[in-house]
């Protein structure tokens, strides 16, 4: 067979052809120009990013007949021999199959002999992390004081497995995964040279599946070309690679947006029945939610997204339905699910259960709201309308008089009350908080002593809060809110609860009309007298946790 796979046919032969490793290319070419080539280099990084390729190019550069040169001529005998793997002075060794101490010692013996024809004797050891501990130890002395004109080039995908004693004797270079744009650009070049028609979305899907590895992407390209022929379309690419299309992802998130568990389960079943890889789909869904989050957080999301494969209008519409907390929780669930699916034979069931959890996720309760609720519990009062309250529903305030409180000063006879002060006060509270939100906390610590046509008397539990509300600006705000709701002006009196005596507690709601109402009042007042320990227990019942002090 004359066919040669793309990964070999389009393998870079010069430093200028390397993609995405500019920092390494610059360092090595400068070292050659300055005659500062080290005796040992260690190249690390994920698969298919150019480690072994760089080692071969460096071997050619220092042994080229026209060199040493930063760019080998790629035409002389030495360059051709190294390119074909037939150079006697450049040995490429597989560390996985030559990992014993005996083979390391044999290598050390051959190092003592000078190069037969080349300028340098080069040893390229691929997957060097596979060497045994004894083999590494045998190489230590030679790496520290090698014979002249000998260069070691190590390549590994697992840098953490290399002993520190080896690392300290080498110049180490970390190869970066290639970006989607870099891979797509190279795939476009290959397709153009091979006469293949391919749209940008197809190549983007191949590059994404390659996950930063040029070799993986080129292998996938060969597979897709074999399936599609001379014309490559995104639908065919999705079939070959077993990935889910962008339209399907958008529809799936729409079901998630509506909390439609039945449709979500039906979609998972359909995807699995089509033979699509659920692990890939889990990763694609996590990335899609990430894109929604970027749209929600950024004023210019197009700078953070690939608009060629992302429908920005759809993402912006879906972003309105999700809170940032929800998206973060969903991503965490999917990340854990993807890891669990890899090591389980029940991958589909695990994924289905995780999707149901996604549909049930709600935003977190913010700490500010929790503090307000705690303050309400500690104060023994109930929250305003619209706020989260204690677990036990309170009796309506319009039917319950407050606990016994009076003014410290001689109290005048109360004026005639309005016919329905309860609802009026609730609306007044909302109006006050709408004008100044901090009053939400102040009003949670006060009681209405009297509220009639011309007077409003409020009792506070502590002097600090009373002092804040007594501020002329705040006092005027209360008066304005009463006028806005009740269409009348009143005189506001602020009293301290600690100075209260007995006798005017019923000024707000009036006297009870029957024994049943009296029982409600008595029960309510008893609940107001809870001890500190009971209040703390209420907080624990609502929020959970433990008492630290």
pLDDT in tens, 441-471: 777 778 888 888 888 888 887 777 777 888 8
Establish whether the linkage from the previous residue to 226 is cis, with ω within 30° of 0. no
37 and 103, same domain (yes or no):
yes
- Residue 226 domain boundaries: 180-241
pTM of the model: 0.61
**Residues 341 and 306 placed together within one structural domain of the fold:** yes
Q: What are phi and psi of 531, to 5 degrees?
A: -75, 170
Residue-level pLDDT at 26? 93
According to DSSP, residue 548 is labeled -
pLDDT higher than 70, residue 175: yes
- Token couple for 105: 């010692």
CATH of the domain at 199: 1.10.8.60
Q: Are residues 191 and 96 in the same domain?
A: no
Between CA 51 and CA 58, with CA 57 as vertex, the angle to 5 degrees is 90
| pLDDT of the residue at 437 | 72
In three-state secondary structure terms, 100 is coil
Q: What is the pLDDT of residues 225-281, one digit of tens each?
A: 888 888 888 788 888 888 888 888 889 999 998 888 999 999 999 998 888 888 888
Residues 235 and 252 in one domain: no
Banded pLDDT at 336 (limits 50, 70, 90): very high
Question: In which order are the strands placed within the sheet that holds 40-44?
Answer: 90-94, 121-126, 150-156, 40-44, 171-174
Say yes or no: 307 and 283 in one domain. yes
pLDDT, residue 351, reads 92
- How many beta carbons lie within 10 A of that of residue 84, not counting itself? 8
Report pLDDT digits (tens) over 107-156: 888 888 877 888 888 999 999 998 888 888 888 888 888 888 889 999 99
Classify the phi-psi angles of 522: left when phi > 0, otherwise alpha if psi is within -120 to 50, otherwise beta. Answer: alpha
Least confident of 69-73, 159-163, 515-519, 537-541: 515-519
The size of the chain, in residues, is 549
Which of these three, 119, 152, 174, is where a domain ends? 174
Based on the fold, state whether residues 320 and 454 are members of the same structural domain.
no
Q: What angle do CA 521, 386, 520 make, to 5 degrees?
A: 10
Question: Would you tell me how many other CB atoms lie within 10 Å of the CB of residue 184?
Answer: 24
């Amino acid at each position: 067979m004359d066919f040669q796979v793309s990964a070999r046919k389009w393998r870079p032969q010069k430093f200028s052809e390397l993609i995405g490793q500019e920092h390494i290319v610059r360092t090595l070419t400068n070292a050659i120009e300055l005659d500062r080539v080290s005796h040992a280099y260690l190249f690390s990084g994920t698969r298919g990013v150019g480690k072994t390729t760089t080692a071969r190019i460096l071997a050619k550069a220092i042994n080229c007949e026209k060199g040493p040169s930063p760019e080998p001529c790629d035409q002389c005998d030495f360059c051709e021999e190294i390119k074909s793997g037939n150079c006697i002075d450049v040995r490429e060794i597989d560390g996985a199959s030559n990992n014993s101490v005996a083979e390391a010692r044999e290598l050390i013996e051959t190092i003592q002999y000078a190069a037969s024809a080349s300028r340098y004797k080069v040893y390229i050891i691929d997957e060097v992390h596979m060497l045994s501990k004894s083999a590494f130890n045998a190489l230590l002395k030679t790496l520290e004081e090698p014979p002249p004109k000998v260069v070691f080039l190590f390549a590994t995908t697992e840098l953490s497995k290399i002993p520190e004693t080896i690392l300290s004797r080498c110049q180490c270079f970390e190869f970066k995964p290639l970006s989607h744009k870099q891979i797509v650009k190279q795939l476009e070049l290959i397709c153009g040279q091979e006469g293949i028609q391919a749209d940008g979305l197809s190549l983007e899907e191949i590059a994404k599946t390659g996950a930063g590895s040029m070799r993986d992407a080129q292998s996938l390209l060969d597979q897709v070309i074999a399936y599609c022929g001379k014309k490559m379309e995104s639908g065919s690419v999705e079939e070959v690679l077993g990935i889910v299309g962008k339209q399907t992802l958008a529809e799936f998130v729409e079901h998630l947006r509506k909390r439609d568990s039945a449709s979500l389960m039906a979609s998972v079943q359909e995807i699995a029945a089509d033979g699509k890889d659920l692990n890939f789909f889990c990763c694609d869904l996590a990335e899609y939610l990430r894109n929604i989050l970027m749209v929600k957080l950024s004023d210019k999301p197009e700078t953070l997204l690939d608009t060629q494969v992302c429908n920005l209008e759809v993402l912006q519409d879906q972003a309105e339905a999700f809170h940032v907390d929800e998206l973060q929780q969903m991503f965490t669930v999917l990340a854990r699910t993807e890891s669990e699916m890899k090591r389980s034979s029940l991958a589909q069931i695990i994924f289905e259960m995780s999707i149901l959890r996604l549909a049930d996720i709600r935003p977190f309760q913010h700490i500010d709201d929790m503090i307000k609720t705690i303050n309400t519990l500690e104060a023994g009062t109930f929250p305003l309308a619209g706020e989260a309250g204690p677990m036990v529903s309170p009796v309506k305030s319009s039917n319950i008089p407050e606990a016994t409180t009076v003014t410290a000063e001689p109290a005048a006879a109360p004026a005639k009350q309005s016919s329905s002060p309860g609802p009026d006060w609730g609306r007044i509270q909302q109006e006050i908080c709408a004008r100044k939100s901090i009053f939400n906390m102040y009003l949670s610590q006060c009681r209405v002593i009297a509220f009639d046509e011309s007077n409003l008397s409020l009792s506070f539990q502590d002097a600090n809060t009373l002092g804040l509300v007594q501020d002329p600006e705040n006092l005027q705000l209360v008066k304005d809110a009463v006028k806005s709701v009740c269409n009348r002006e009143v005189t506001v009196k602020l009293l301290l609860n600690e100075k209260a005596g007995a006798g005017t507690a019923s000024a707000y709601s009036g006297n009870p009309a029957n024994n049943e109402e009296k029982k409600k009042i008595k029960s309510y007042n008893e609940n107001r007298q809870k001890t500190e320990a009971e209040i703390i227990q209420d907080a624990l019942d609502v929020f959970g946790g433990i008492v630290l002090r």
